[in-house]
Structures are given as C-alpha cells and as structure tokens.
Amino acid sequence: MNLPRLRAEFPALVATGPEESIAYLDSACMSLVPRPVLAAMEEYYTRFPGCAGRSRHRFSTAAGERVEAARSAFGRWFGLGDAGPVVFLRNATEAINLVARGYPWRRGDRVLVSDQEHNSNLVVWQRLASERRLRLHSFALSDDGGFDLDRFAAEVDRHRPRLISLFHTSNLDGRSLPVRAIGEIAHDRGAETLFDGCQAAPHEAVDLKRIGADYYAVSAHKMLGPTGVGLLLSAPGALDRIAPLNLGGETVEWTTQERHQLRPPPYRFEAGLQNYAGIIGAHAGLRFLERAGLDRIRSHQAGLNAIATRALADDPRISILGPSAPQDRPSILGFTLDGVDPHDAAVFLDEGYRVLVRSGQHCVHSWYARRGLTGSVRASFYLYNTAAEVRRFVRGVRELLDRIPARAVPPPVRASGRRSGRSPGPGRRADPS
C-alpha cells in the first residue's frame, strides 16, 4: 500500500473548501479513522445489528462471528495466536484498572512505576496504596531518553515489587523502553509486568511472547479504530489471577439465587452488552495497518520527525524533550517554547496554519510539576502525514517565535538532556489533560 495515497481514505483530511487541508499532528492522542473502519461499523448497524452470543438468530450469529474474528486477529497481531487471551474493554485505562483492582494483592505488596507515567498508570496505584495498603515506588528516567538497565535492576532489588507497571513508549516524548530486558529483570526477581502499549502498538510490531509481558494494555483509538474500544492482552494463564471489575450478563456460566459460576477468561471480564460495532471497526483498523505495513509507517514518520527536528533543534528558544535523535522518538516531537504558553502556541498553529497539535501536560502532570513546567507542545506523526504538512508546522512555529520577544533571563529548569529547558511561560489556562 502506497502511504501518500492513503490520505484519500481519511475523510477528516479531505479539503472541503478553498483553504488548505488540515495538518493533523495529534495522532498520539487519537488517530484518524479511515473509510474501511467507518464502513465496517455501518455494516454492523445496517446488516446484522444483533447481540453477539445471546441469541440464535442470524443477526446475533453474524455479530458474534465478527467479534470473535476480531479477537483472534488481535491475538495473532500481538503474537499470542488465534486463541490468545484478548479482553475487549472501553480503553487502555480500563485495562490497567482491571489488572490493578483485580490482582490478588497482599497487604504490603509493592508496585514500581517510572516518574513519567500517564495518569492512567499512576493514579490507580496511588488510590490502591491508600485503600489496600500497597506500597508505590517510582524511579526517575533520564531526561535524554537513555535507560540504564543496571540501575533499573538495582531499583527492583531495592523495592522488591510484586508488579512493575511501565509505559512501552512514552506519550510525552516518544521514547521507548527496552521492555524485553525489563521483563527479564522482573521475572528473574519474581515480579510480573504490566505495560501501557498505547503509543507503541500503532507504530511497531509487538510480540508479547518475545518481550515476555504478563499484561499489555492498548486503546484502539490510537490504531485507526473508533473510540470506546480497548484491549487487555496477557500471557497464558495470567488472567486467571485477575478478579473481574464488573459482573452480570455474559460473565457467568450459570446462576442460582445463592451462587454463580464465572465463565473462563476473557469472557468473565466482558460484562453486559458490548461495543460490537466498535470492536468490528477496530478489527478493520487493524487490517488497514496490516496492509500499510508497520515498518513502512515507522520509517515514514521517523523521516517526518527528522524534517521537523532539523528545522527546530538549533533554535535557542526551543527545547526538545527526550531523545535528541528523531529515530529514537519517531512518532513524537515534544518541545517547549521560551516565553510562549503551550496552549497559545496550539491555538496559533490551528488558527493561522490549520496545523493541529497537542498542548498542555499530556496527562503526565507529575513529570511537569517536578520540573516546574506548565506544559509543552507535542506534534505527533502518523502514516497519513506529509512532508509539506511538517514544513507548514515549522513555518508556524517560527512565525510565532518571531512575533513574541525572547525573555532576557530563562529560568533555571531542565526540560531535556540536550539543553536547559525553558518554561513555556506562566500558564493562563487550566490543563484538562
């Protein structure tokens, strides 16, 4: 599949008037949806709008077949095989919460996270530390994107966690962790692993058997699929240890007035009527990614990131977050602008250049708080973006800096390992992320 020709498959990118088409550089938040995904969802509602698995008529049978086909496809995609344990949920946040709240904890058990986790992989552990007397520990990541495995092993030896829960790829600066080596260190010391795979799965092949992940959380809305569909994948047998968050229809084999028998995983975790159209649409998104090719996508977005990085890296008012080399953060370019509020930058790029980027604290508030930063700007690249869009983005950033005078004395804050980070200025808006 030719990537430049794919743009026509994304209705949101089709220009409808004399203005330039939208340059959508916010795929790390949510990817756009191609026509085959929309068609698959419409097909469900127009041809077989039934409850999967609940009735014996043709609508129900067709819906059930499509849902199980999606489950098998995701199992194969993540290296687990057709019968791999794949739970359909609302999003990766629910998947992380399912593991966190359903795990067979003992008083005093310990959980280890990094200091750069998305709130979805931090807040639930803070709550459980209070409710169930777990002990939550975190370790600091290097600002330049490096990862010291020896130091990590020492942290594991020091805290003796029962579960290590980390991102695979950061939504803040695009770095990826050496998850296979992390898993080996964890398992050698008797710990299990949970990885937030939201930013990795849309861009690279993830073989869960090879990396040895016990639990892996994914959101379909970052993989060309619709909103409202997430997945929890696991090693064989790992879900047997997890108690369901919700119980009710479809989770039980039988009930009496006094007792019930749960169905085996993954069905015991899928209570109530499911988002059948969304699951079918997510499968269509997966097929689209398969045709496009993950290696081609990764190479394409790394090339786009390199264009932007080369154009902006030498500006003294721009501080790039994370690794300096774009190939080490191919899908994301995060940065601060000296003297410019990140939200103002995003509005300027949208209104002046029709370039859509993310601004704020990217649901990693704790990282910014420790560094005294109010937020940053994040441009994220995907298969439908073009070099022309990236150059338009660069022109917008440069014009914005030309319009706003530099401050005489930058604050003594480090935002990255490449140069001293400049605060993006006093925040004038609350950050909802």
Let me know if 46 is exposed, middle or buried by CB neighbors in 10 A (0-12, 13-18, 19+). Answer: exposed
Cα separation, 142 vs 115, whole angstroms: 10
Instruction: Identify whether 266 is preceded by a cis peptide bond (ω within 30 of 0).
Output: yes
**Exposed/middle/buried for residue 265 (C-beta within 10 Å: 0-12, 13-18, 19+):** buried
Residue holding tokens 């803070």? Answer: 126
Of 68, 34, 63, residue with least CA distance to 382: 34
Report which secondary-structure segment, H or E, holds 332: strand 332-337
Residue with tokens 């090693």, as numbered in its chain: 235
HSE, side-chain direction, 13 A CA sphere, residue 400: 31
Q: Is 228 strand, coil or helix?
A: coil
Query: What is each CA distance from 151 to 29, 137, 146, 156, 182, in whole angstroms?
Result: 31, 15, 11, 9, 11
Q: Report which of 178, 183, 180, 204 is spatially closest to residue 193, judged by C-alpha positions.
A: 183
Q: Which helix (H) or strand (E) holds 102?
A: helix 92-102
The residue type at 298: R
Provide the CB-side half-sphere exposure for 375 (13 A, CA). Answer: 23
Sheet holding 230-234, edge to edge: 86-89, 230-234, 215-219, 192-196, 163-167, 110-114, 135-139
What totals of helices (H) and strands (E) does the chain contain, helices first?
Answer: 12, 15
Rounded to the nearest 10 degrees, the angle between the axes of helix 276-292 and helix 58-77 is: 40
Q: What's the chain's length in residues?
A: 433
Secondary structure (DSSP) of 371-408: HT---EEEEE--TT--HHHHHHHHHHHHHHHHHSPPPS
Residues taking part in catalysis: 363
